[in-house]
Amino acid sequence: MSTLLDVRDLKVSFGSGATATEVLHGVSFALSAGETLAIVGESGSGKSVTALSINRLVDFGGGHITGGSIGFTRADGTALDLAAADERTMTAVRGRDIGMIFQEPMTSLNPVMTVGQQIAEAFRLGRGMSGGAATAEAKRALDRVRIPDAARRLANYPHQLSGGMRQRVMIAMALASNPRLLIADEPTTALDVTVQAQIMALLAELRAEMNMALIFITHDIGLVAGIADRIMVMQRGVAVEQGETGTVLDRPQHDYTKHLLNAVPHFANGSATRTDERPGRPAPIVSVSDLVVRFPIRVQWFQKAGSVHAVDGVDFDLVAGETLAIVGESGSGKSTTARAILGLVKATRGKIDARAGRSRRPIQMVFQDPYASLNPRLNVEALLAEPAIANGQRVDAALRDRMRRLLARVGLGEDALGRYAHQFSGGQRQRLCVARALMLNPDVVVLDEAVSALDVSVQAQVLELLVDLQREFSLSYLFISHDMAVVERIAHRIAVMYAGRIVEIGGAAAVLSTPQHSYTQRLIAAVPSVARRRQTFTLDATPVPSLVRPAGYEPPPARWREVGADHFVREETAA
């Protein structure tokens, strides 16, 4: 096979003069035509900078290449050093030879142009087509990325499409000029797991169809196991290991690769659930019955057109000392359920009974984004004091002592008290949020995607901390997550939510190993993992039912089927 890309000793710096920082310290790799290379690493490892250097988008982000070469073979067979090419050459290369897709499809698309116009633009600029021909090509491009009803979709604006559809539109645009290399920078990170599986399957098919080389950047080593020919593992701007996918995964040489493979929670079909004994199901500490949350949609001022049924009749009990995980994809109503329990959204109907606990506020919450949930203008002492002040306590020596003990318990030093949130890393901030939630000595902590925003190795540590804290303080967790592998590590029981309802609930091992509801089965089948890399994913484009219902609509009552001890599944109806 001919070499398409030959990167040698690539060095990239950001900033200039005395403040310049080198972020890539000499990275070398080669890529043949039609081959797929996965670049794996955590945030700050330089994986995105490596990719952005190839099409020189890094220049626009304040970076510049300070050393090394990027040999690229163009379609006509001529060789080109991309590291030394001028901006005009690069514009042509970006348009014709190298396509790119980004993590967040909503921000990559122009919100005021229809997707048809945007794809047609790619054909006009990339291949010099005129209006009519470009539009016809745009339709064919949408067909190629398997968007059903492509002719109608051309007239849609980005906000009218789902996340998965938008990412397909991005792929269609990137492929407009039949590039010989496609760079995909975390293209599925913002997507649900079943959608992610579809996009991965699509990329694998298109790559074969078009004989295109692919550079796939990800933090999830399990995800690329099925698609990559070769893997390059990066850490702090250096490629620590690269080789054939099988070799890297089965016989990793570098300690960091081993660490990464161990840190990633691998989904094991319910065989790795927690085995610490659960108390023999005493009275529930939180009992939710028939919880309904609806958001009315108004067409005009006072006229209700119906409502979004975000949560539609949810029942569950949470027992002391137990973790109940609520899993589901975006829009399933899992976060709304959590927010309703804490009173952050008003329940339309239903009862939430919380047994009187150890403090006046027995339920506390940890949010997904540790950056957004800490006030940037307050220091740690003020942040931790807030729950106490809110409940009428005085900030005195005893309270400061409690702060110090909790900080030490979550793994932060005493010197943290005087510091501000931005002086901590993401993982440390989330530890801080956990400490803050524990300030009031709660019985229940709601963890809303609490580890989703963290790097995998940090994620593993925070999960471990959560399990330890649960034992130590006999806490109950309501653990909201979309990540089946994480849920497997921490849950005692699992409730699967789909379109505002619980469709399956039961012991973690039972639900994960013998899923009964068709949605649970789909969800579990879509989880990527190193162990399942030889399985092939098929395209499954079952659309999520709309949650918008006309005014006065009431769902039919749920009928439950008991499929095992403490394992219930909702009977599926046509609706």
Partner 1 sequence: MRVIRELFRHGSGRIGALIIVVYLVLALLGAVGLTPHNALQQLPISRLKPPSLSFWTGTDLLGRDTFSRLMLGIGQSFVVAFASVAAATVAGTIIGLLAAWWGHLWDGVLMRLMDVLLAFPAILLALLIIAVVGPGTSTSIAAIAIVYTPIFARVVRGPALSLKQRDFVDAARTFGSSQGYILTRHLLLNLVAPLTVQVTLALAWALLTEAGLSFLGLGVQPPAPSLGVMLADSKNLMQHAPWLMLFPGLTVMLGILGFNLTGDALRDILDPRTEQRKA
Smaller CB separation from partner 1, 122 or 439? 439
Q: Residues 36, 229: contact at Cβ < 8 Å?
A: yes
- 245 vs 430, which CB is nearer to partner 1? 430
Binding mask 423-452 for partner 1 (x = CB under 8 A): x---------x--x---x------------
**φ/ψ of residue 163, rounded to 5:** -55, -45
> DSSP letter string over 283-339?
SEEEEEEEEEEEEEEESSSS-EEEEEEEEEEEEEEEETT-EEEEE--TTSSHHHHHH
Least distance to partner 1 from the beta carbon of 11, Å? 22
Structure tokens at 470: 């649960």
Binding mask 295-334 for partner 1 (x = CB under 8 A): ----------------------------------------
374 binds partner 1 (CB under 8 A): yes
Determine if 21 is a binding residue for partner 1 (CB under 8 A): no
Q: Interacting stretch for partner 1, rule CB under 8 A, among 94-102, 279-287, 377-385, 518-526?
A: 377-385
The interface region with partner 1, picked from 139-147, 160-168, 258-266, 370-378 by CB under 8 A, is: 370-378
3-state secondary structure of 240: strand
What CA–CA distance (Å, rounded) separates 524 from 194? 9
Residue choice 378, 395, 525, 544 for contact with partner 1 (CB under 8 A): 378
Site string for partner 1, 189-218 (x = CB under 8 A): ------------------------------
Shortest Å distance, C-beta 452 to partner 1: 13
- 198 versus 364: smaller Cβ distance to partner 1: 364
Q: Among 254, 361, 400, 549, indicate the residue that binds partner 1 (CB under 8 A).
A: 361
Residue 242, CA distances (Å) to 5, 125, 181 in order:
15, 36, 19
Phi/psi class of residue 43: alpha, beta or left (left: φ > 0; alpha: ψ in -120 to 50)? beta
The answer to whether 377 contacts partner 1 (rule: CB under 8 A) is yes
Output the six-digit token pair for 428.
């440390």
Q: According to CB under 8 A, which one of 152, 251, 351, 360 is a site residue for partner 1? A: 360
Which residues, in sequence order, are CB contacts of 7 under 8 Å at separation 6+? Answer: 27, 28, 29, 30, 50, 54, 68, 69, 70, 71
Contact 10, 27 (CB under 8 A): yes
| Residue span binding partner 1 (CB under 8 A) among the ranges 246-254, 266-274, 299-307, 420-428 | 420-428
367 lies in the site for partner 1, by CB under 8 A: yes
Distance CA 394, CA 413 (A): 23
Among 29, 157, 420, 473, binds partner 1 (CB under 8 A): 420
3-state SS assignment for residue 78: coil
Question: Is residue 422 part of the contact set for partner 1 (CB under 8 A)?
Answer: yes
State which residue, 253 or 375, has the beta carbon closest to partner 1. 375
Choosing from 369, 393, 400, 549, the residue that interacts with partner 1 (CB under 8 A) is: 369
Four-CA torsion 154, 158, 163, 164, nearest 10 degrees: 20
Q: CB-wise, 289 or 423, nearer to partner 1?
A: 423
Establish if 387 lies at the interface with partner 1 (CB under 8 A).
yes
How far is it, in rounded angstroms, from Cα 411 to Cα 232? 32
Cα(535)–Cα(551) distance, integer angstroms: 45
Q: Which is nearer to partner 1, 391 or 535 (CB)?
A: 391
387: part of which helix (H) or strand (E)?
helix 380-390
DSSP lists the bridge partners of residue 29 as 7
Query: Where along the sequence are the contacts to partner 1 (CB under 8 A)?
Result: 339, 342-344, 360-361, 363-365, 367-369, 372-378, 382, 386-387, 389-391, 420, 422-423, 433, 436, 440
